[in-house]
Structure 1
Amino acid sequence: MTAAPDPDTATSLPIGSDADLAWVRHQVRRFAAELGFGLVQQTKLVTAASELARNTLIHGGGGEARITPLTDTPTRGLRLCFIDTGPGIRDVELATTDGYTTGGGLGLGLSGARRLVDEFSIDTTPGEGTVVTLVAWVTGAPAPRPGSG
């Protein structure tokens, strides 16, 4: 179960250009490292974030990424939300099928991102936009000491 985000701890990043995509990746890696995610987990999170940020830019016409550390639960985690006000996704089941693409790519964006994290959801309304939320939980790492992050 996911902890409710604290708006005071969420970091919002604009997604409107390729430079913004690089900044989102950098910030996701930074937050993941500070929370104690291992290198493999960091790489999975950054990969998922990169795919979803690119979808936000290309298919949603831009939007924002919200990064929320989840530290008020027994296990530390990171919630990432990718929000756009684009055309929405008409068929979520089809869009999350391996190999499905509308952009000429490999068709692994949504389905691949879903496999890289612990929790994944899509809230979309055609003509109004999409919110893709993912959560990853730290596994196998000691908790950071207070004042060390």
Structure 2
Amino acid sequence: MQDTIQILSETDAIVARQRGREIARQLGFSVVDQTRIAISISELARNIILYAGSGVVEVTAMHGEHGDVGIEVLAADNGPGIADLNLALLDGYSTSNGLGMGLPGTKRLMDEFQIDTVPGAGTRITIRKWLNSRNY
């Protein structure tokens, strides 16, 4: 099960969030984890809109080799990239006058968080949540 949503506007971010929540529900995630996943997708999609203008969010159901079930979200854009990744991952840091909880908050809500960014070439963020999290 995989869904790809083009992110061009807030409406697309809402669709991505809803689709992620629905896939998480179908996989058996609790309402709390469905909410964590939806919030994380919202933050990543919002960053695409705010900083890159457009991009894509891919939501994929995962089935691991040991019977593990999870959800993976890839948020990718071809925007300006993140100039100072360490700074962007600090709580409270924001270049948009926001609360500065986006990337650090997303990292805390999910079990896995990987970010690849190249200034001038874009950003790819992959997050994962496992149904029976064992501190992956």
Q: So what's the TM-score if we normalise by structure 2?
A: 0.93
Q: Give the drift of 1:10.
A: 3.0
Matched to 1:139, the amino acid is: N
Q: 2:88 aligns with which of 86, 95, 102?
A: 95
CA RMSD of aligned residues (A): 1.1
> Structure 1 runs of 4+ off > 6 angstroms?
none
The TM-score, its normalising length taken from structure 1, stands at: 0.85
Judging by fraction of residues, say which structure has more helix: 2
Query: What is the rounded CA distance, in whole Å, between the counterparts of 1:85 and 1:51 in structure 2?
Result: 17
For residue 139 of structure 1, report the CA deviation from its aligned partner.
2.2
Structure 1 residue corresponding to 2:14, chosen from 22, 30, 49:
22
Percent identity over the alignment?
A: 41
CA distance in 2, matches of 1:72, 1:100: 35
Alpha-carbon distance in structure 1 between the residues aligned to 2:104 and 2:49: 18
Quick one: distance in 2 between partners of 1:51 and 1:119? Answer: 15
Residues 61 and 85 of structure 1 are in contact (CA less than 8 Å); yes or no, is this contact kept in structure 2?
no
Equivalent pairs, count: 132
User: Who wins on radius of gyration, i.e. which is larger?
Assistant: 1
Unaligned 5+ segments in structure 2 are: none
**Offset, 1:72:** 4.1
Deviations 1:115-141 (A, max 9, x none): 00000011010000000110000028x
* Aligned partner of residue 80 in structure 1, secondary structure: strand
